[in-house]
Amino acid sequence: MESRNASNFKIFFLIKICVNQVLIKKTNDDASSSNLQNKDDEIRKSKRTKVAKSFGPDFLTYMLESEPQTFKEAMSMPEAPLWKEAINSKIESIMNDHTLELVNLLSNMKPLGCNWIFKRKLKADGSIDKHKARLVAKGFKQKDGYDLFDTCSPVTRITSKRMLIAIATINNLEIHQMDVKTTFLNGELEEEICMQQSKGFVAPGQEQKVCRLVKSLYGLKQASKQWHIKFDNVMISNGFKINECDKCVYAKDTSKGFVIVCLYMDDMLIISNEKTIIKST
């Protein structure tokens, strides 16, 4: 019994010594870290006088006026006639495509808001090329399962684009690149979505009505998906076949030759052995 008590005492004593050493080491580490922090704080305080830098007379600085953030701000600027022209052009495009229609607001419907986005397109020399306006729906207020079900949209793989360009270069094929205007205005919506009338274009006598979106609009979460579905249906109906390895590459054989279409959002690469086939595509 005495030997067992002695061994237990020895173990207890050793544990106590180890704990004390750990506590002492921790205290020393905390003290040293605080000292280092104080030194770092002293080092960070720079006492050097600031000198204005100059890049010389060969460098010029241009100050560009920022784009208007709201419709009211755009109409109060000296460029208001140009912004108004851009807005009218966009509204005309929306109405011609039958993107929306005025309807009475139902009790179970909550319309989304909308906003105008303004942008100046510049030339290579920095001068203004044109003024552009875009009507954007506030899609961040959409609710999953109510006016939104799926948002995925495939795009061409970068390896597919590189391979097609390499094949076209080796075989001396024609390549044409094009951008689709008003891309997201072409997709037809499957959900019932309403939007408030845009500022500056409220129909007189129909202020209480809302815009029911027949086709997708910029800002909607499913806009890219609906555009791809519409493009896919049109391509298949015109005899194109989808590539098994990349769902955004379409090919078609004709009596005059072949044509390959590579889709990446609103940009397309059209590759063929004849220019006439590219123009007809």
Q: Which residue has the higher pLDDT, 232 or 56?
A: 232
Q: What is the pLDDT of residue 250?
A: 92
According to the model, what pLDDT value does residue 166 have?
A: 92
- How many CB atoms neighbour CB 173 within 10 A? 19
Number of domains in the chain: 1
Torsion angle, alpha carbons of 196, 199, 200, 201, to 10: -20
**CA-only gyration radius of the chain, Å:** 33
Distance between CA atoms of residues 247 and 240, nearest Å: 12
Owning domain of residue 264 = 71-280
Q: How much is the pLDDT for 182?
A: 73
- Does 164 reside within a domain? yes
Asked if residue 55 is part of any domain, the answer here is: no
- The confidence score (pLDDT) of residue 156 equals 86
- Mean pLDDT of the 179-191 span: 79
Does the pLDDT at position 42 exceed 80? no
Residue 43 has pLDDT above 80, yes or no: no
Has residue 77 got a pLDDT over 60? Answer: yes
| pLDDT (mean) for 127-153 | 81
- Decide if 8 is inside a domain: no
**What pLDDT band is residue 39 in, cutting at 50, 70 and 90?**
very low
Question: Domain for residue 24, yes or no?
Answer: no
| pLDDT(120) > 60 | yes
Residue 60 forms part of a structural domain: no
